[in-house]
């Protein structure tokens, strides 16, 4: 019988179980990471749109910029818009995106530790007493909490994709969109604050 050496050495099913990666939790994590990557792509498109930039044949300032810088660029461009409702829309989107990507960074770059049915993602931990350039941060939650973060990223993706379309931004300035963005900002702000979300209101 031929054995796949990757399976016999890596034993991925055992690792998933040990790390708390049940199918639902894994799906939520995957969605967050994929949504976040798509958002980064769309943010760049929106910045070009607001700047009136045709990027063909040039290297735009957005190239290779981290998401934190892209959000700052979008905030600046949003503040230049003539319509107050559009300025508010972009400002609110950026305010929700900052803590959302803090959550994403903790998930993507943190060391995961299973704690019962939850996972604690620890970024820049100082377990050996070492000094680090960046402050430590963490995100703690199970499938329910990760579902809320996924939902917030879905809101951010839908709206930034709408902004990048070749249509007026004013059409996105609705009470429903505003409420969804405020909720996304509240959720991601709570989950990015190093608190155990299991004890919070969500």
- Domain locations in the chain? 18-126+135-199
pLDDT in the model for residue 192? 87
Q: How far is CA 89 from the centre of its chain?
A: 18
Q: Provide the residue-wise pLDDT of the chain in tens; the chain has 202 residues.
A: 678 999 999 999 999 999 999 999 999 999 999 999 999 999 999 999 999 999 999 999 999 999 999 999 999 999 999 999 999 999 999 999 999 999 999 999 999 999 999 999 999 999 999 999 999 999 999 999 999 999 999 999 999 999 999 999 999 999 999 999 999 999 999 998 654 444 333 3
Q: At which residue do the structure tokens 């995100």 appear? A: 139
Q: Could you give the 3-state DSSP secondary structure of residue 76?
A: helix
Return d(Cα 186, Cα 201) in angstroms, integer.
10
pLDDT in the model for residue 194? 57
Return d(Cα 164, Cα 44) in angstroms, integer.
9
127: tokens are: 């377990």
- Which residues on neighbouring strands pair with residue 121, listed in sequence order? 112, 139
- Long-range own/partner contacts, residues 42-49 (CB < 8 A, 24 or more apart): 42/157, 42/160, 42/161, 42/163, 42/164, 43/67, 43/70, 43/71, 43/74, 43/97, 43/160, 44/70, 45/164, 46/74, 46/160, 46/163, 46/164, 47/73, 47/74, 47/77, 49/163, 49/164
Burial 141-165 (b: 16+ CB within 10 A, else e): bbbebbbbbbbbbebbbbbbebbbe
pLDDT in the model for residue 198? 42
């Amino acid at each position: 019988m031929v054995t796949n050496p990757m399976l016999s050495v890596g034993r991925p099913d055992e690792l998933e179980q040990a790390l708390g990666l049940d199918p639902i939790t894994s799906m939520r994590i995957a969605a967050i990471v994929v949504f976040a990557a798509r958002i980064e792509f769309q943010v760049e498109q929106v910045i070009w749109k607001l700047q009136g930039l045709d990027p063909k044949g040039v290297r735009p300032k957005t190239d290779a910029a981290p998401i934190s810088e892209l959000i700052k660029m979008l905030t600046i461009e949003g503040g230049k818009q003539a319509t107050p409702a559009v300025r508010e829309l972009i400002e609110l989107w950026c305010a929700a995106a900052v803590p959302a990507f803090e959550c994403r960074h903790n998930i993507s770059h943190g060391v995961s530790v299973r704690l019962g049915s939850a996972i604690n993602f620890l970024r820049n931990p100082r377990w050996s007493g070492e000094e680090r350039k960046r402050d430590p941060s963490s995100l703690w939650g199970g499938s329910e909490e990760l579902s809320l973060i996924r939902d917030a990223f879905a809101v951010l993706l839908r709206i930034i994709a709408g902004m990048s379309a070749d249509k007026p931004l004013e059409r996105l300035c609705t009470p429903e969109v505003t409420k969804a963005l405020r909720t996304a900002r509240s959720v991601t702000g709570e989950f990015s604050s190093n608190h155990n979300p299991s004890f919070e209101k969500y």
